[in-house]
Structure 1
């Protein structure tokens, strides 16, 4: 027997114009012995909207066929006006397609009149309320840094994108500040992470005190912060705000009984003076910040971006030339890392990982070159090469091992947003003979929000091909449930930092639990990346994760070593990784 969700009665808004159905719902809710429901009714959409504006509603039971509204338009209108309230559709139409579309458009559940008893109705309402609470908590955690409470990296990029769009529309300016603390590493190393974390919290609080309501401040790295100053008049406005920040951070901090001093270096980029798009503005502010840090003997300083700071851009151009040569000279290689069922140890798949066998610098990981590669159209050629070779290898393993194995490929946003990308994938599958269900494409949220309409078209086509689709690094970005409803994903891949946090803190475990619950609600597999310790694996098992991947099982392997691993059998326990 379940326990009551709350000692307080739950206020349910029933939007229904049939008196008989209203009476039946009232009786079904009254039959519940474990929960107290307060039923409010509305027989029209207009009346329901007025009630939502004036009363505290816990959940909505909605008949989408009303005198003043019909079909999914009813749901869309109600959901738009009350996005934080869970909705259960109660329809007289037994249509599976309508049920699916209702959930995609914001409903938590879809029930058919005449086929619902008291237990089913109250259970559906409870589940809807709990799922909504989980969603809201996960969204909050996904948008905010858990240590400081500031916006996180992805929320910052979302806000900057919107701020630039507004500035462009209203022909105003904005300033982007990138801040890096000076002396923090020495404090963190000598006094420990506990003191370091308290200091970061103190810095965050002072940054909040320096910002206006229209500004955004975020923590985007260990000791790196950023601030967006909207609607400024000129550089003097930005300089005044920056001087205020430097003065505030420059005052001593009292942390755990110690007086600590920390400095700050700030780089400033102005839109549209220094750049007219997000990527260039961030890059230029970053260049200016490193220029500020290069000031020898200066603890607190700032620099505006200027064109003579572009030495780094020159280095990027040289690296891009090397990358182009690497593709033509066959210097790129692919490593494979097993994806393992956490309960059985069975290898379900292999993630393909790009490496660069540099002629003088040795084997390079993506961190050394991927940012430059992804900023260039060359990433499309490299992406095609990876896709083709992974599919060839997958088919070779099928023919030799004779067992199903899913090969996953990470996509760059540029790849997915090609108008003919689905056709390219279809051609590769036809050429290599690899069945579509043996290929999984890992898609980042960045690729979805950059051009949602184009991304949706390509993802829908890929789904029709039978290719598996995974939302990659879930929890590292905004972790939007909107995308889970709209896009036909088959799996969610937990970001490695959340995997590591899951066994280290209550908040981390709560976040990981919320992710897998969401995955299973949407009938998707949940995979955790970056598993490195037995404690992390135990946590994932207890949270009911499906698959895991990481050093605890196996490091990424060259093709020959991965082949040898599969030839020994498709079972891999943690001990084997030692």
Structure 2
């Protein structure tokens, strides 16, 4: 809770009333500001931090009601107001009027000290709770550093100031080396202790004018103010790195902390928070790929452009058919993205993560969608695709982005003109960063006619109430269940439960990743509608996919 003293502003047109209230407030140990009249009170609100306002209801000139209205018009988070009135129940609708203009409560004259103190204690508690909630919303609970939300506000404010002063800022992006390996080997307690220790070293190594934050996982940032050139950023980054890297002791274990550091300069490498962060990330992931534990400053826009070309210039799409057992035909296809240089980054998942780390997710997503639209609309057999459902994988972390959702809606509209239907195939559900916003965006996509499929049912943790809210058209069984159910009755029972779940929420169940005939025959005994896997097809190009549909290829 916030231990700073509460500041009360007392507004009354009579000095005698002001001094009387000041005496009554003494036991509360609060800071008291006395204002004679509404105009004086408004001036104090402009120049002082006020937590609670005690306001006389009836004053000459601007009365208490008018002042309360003005306060609520001018302030996004107005302080609680306690009205003081001599009229009591003689004023018609006094209580309703007070609440309509934003007053939290009122007290009648003559004022009883006990009653006044009791009402103010309630308001003081409310103010402290609100401050604590605001603090928790901007502080990382584990390390005590500011969090991503606080960092975003701070970098915006500092960029605005630097722009006016024609000055520079430095941004350092840190990523702990091999953190996942330590976490997996020694457990989350050791991992948490390591994060706490790194945060402590980072806080102790930065200048008083700089700002450090933890923005997620093992990712930290530091905003450097009063910067003049590239060399200054690099020198500060190296000093911080030297003080943060080193031996770490925890319950008899001796571990070593090292962090890779990427640096960027405002406005040279980016004129917005997003662009500057992407520039620092480009440098960071070059460091992690080549010289872990060291520091690198982003070279230039040309460097970012070369990464852009390397990542997006070789996109290949594959289509894996999804079969309907009852109709014995292909009802859709899952879109797979391949890059010619994907093995460099550990396969497709590693590639997508690499693209995200480079800050090129938006460009990559748009390129992928443009290529998909171009292929399915210009294929020599595109007429055969009519009525087909196209399943496009999307990360839950990306779906909270407005720009991406607009891309999906535009893509869906163009596909619908060809009688093709888009379904987003949501992965990494448990890593969603802002669940209320994600649900809101999914509702918008649903209203635009875009279907929803949720992956890894039976393994991912998603509340049933959430499924009822989202109402997905499709759900996909976890591949772990598919590969294990023949040898473990528990997995088989889980699949049966997923079948019942799909029926209960009126969603179609897809068995994904079928590799063998025995898997297929075992799953056919259950109430599963759709099947997909390499047993029948690898990822087909668009022409082979449309040919398979036209030939009524069956399973």
1:410 partner SS = helix
How far does the alpha carbon of each residue in 1:326-352 deviate from its partner, in whole angstroms, 9 at most, with x for none? 579999xxxxxxxxxxxxxxxxxxxxx
Structure 2: state its 5+ residue gaps.
Answer: 313-360, 378-387, 416-437, 450-459, 476-498, 508-555
TM-score of the aligned structures, taking structure 2 as reference length: 0.53
Q: List per-residue Cα deviations over 1:492-536 (Å, max 9, x = no partner).
A: xxxxxxxxxxxxxxxxxxxxxxxxxxxxxxxxxxxxxx9868xxx
How far is the alpha carbon of 1:114 from its aligned partner?
A: 7.5
- Please give the alpha-carbon distance, in whole angstroms, between the structure 2 residues aligned to 1:15 and 1:127: 20
Q: Is the 8 A contact 2:439 2:470 kept in 1?
A: no
Change (3 A) 1:202 1:116: same
Q: Which of 256-265 and 193-202 deviates more?
A: 256-265
Distance 1:84-1:318 versus aligned 2 partners, 3 A rule: closer
Q: Do 2:38 and 2:67's aligned partners in 1 also have CA atoms closer than 8 Å?
A: no
The answer to whether the 8 A contact 1:291-1:309 is kept is no
Partner of 2:12: 16
8 A contact 2:9–2:53 mirrored in 1: yes
Residue 381 (structure 1) aligned with residue 427 (structure 2): no
Deviations 1:476-496 (A, max 9, x none): xxxxxxxxxxxxxxxxxxxxx
What do the CA deviations read for 1:119-161 (whole angstroms, capped 9, x no partner)? 9866543332221111011111111100111110011011111
Q: 1:10 to 1:134 in 2, by over 3 A?
A: closer
How far 1:308 sits from its partner (Å)? 2.0
Structure 1: unaligned runs, 5 residues or longer: 1-8, 332-356, 387-407, 416-427, 433-529, 534-547, 569-578
- Count of residue pairs the alignment pairs up: 376
Contact 1:358 1:364 in 2 (8 A): no
CA RMSD for the aligned pairs? 5.3
1:230-266 Cα deviation digits (max 9, x unpaired)? 2200001100110011101222123333322121111
Aligned to 2:534: none
1:171 and 2:166 aligned = yes
> Contact (CA 8 Å) 1:320, 1:372: kept in 2 or not?
no
Classify 1:116/1:385 alpha carbon distance in 2 versus 1 (closer, same or farther; 3 Å): farther
User: Could you say what secondary structure the match of 1:166 adopts?
Assistant: helix
Correspondence for 1:44: 37
Residue 295 of structure 1 is matched in structure 2 by 290
Contact 1:86/1:129 (<8 A) preserved: no
Q: 1:194 aligns with which of 166, 189, 211?
A: 189
Q: 1:263 aligns with which of 230, 253, 258?
A: 258
Identify if the C-alpha distance between structure 1 residues 141 and 36 changes in structure 2 by more than 3 Å, giving closer, same or farther: closer
Q: TM-score scaled to structure 1, two decimals?
A: 0.52
2:473 match: 558
* 1:410 corresponding residue in structure 2: 440
Specify which of 261, 272, 289 is matched with residue 277 of structure 1. 272
Question: Which of 296, 299, 319 is the equivalent residue of 2:365?
Answer: 319
Larger radius of gyration: 2
Contact 1:206–1:248, Cα closer than 8 Å, also in 2: yes
Pair 1:226–1:12, CA change in 2 (3 A)? closer
SS at 1:220's partner residue?
Answer: strand
Match of residue 212 from structure 2: 217
Task: Find 1:135's aligned residue among 117, 130, 149.
Answer: 130
Aligned to 2:298: 304
**1:368-517 equivalences in 2 (<5 Å):** 370=399, 374=403, 378=407, 381=410, 410-411=440-441
User: CA–CA distance in 2 between the matches of 1:230 and 1:40?
Assistant: 35
Relative distance call for 1:140 and 1:373 in structure 2 (3 A) is closer
* Change over 3 Å in CA distance of 1:10–1:243 after alignment to 2: closer
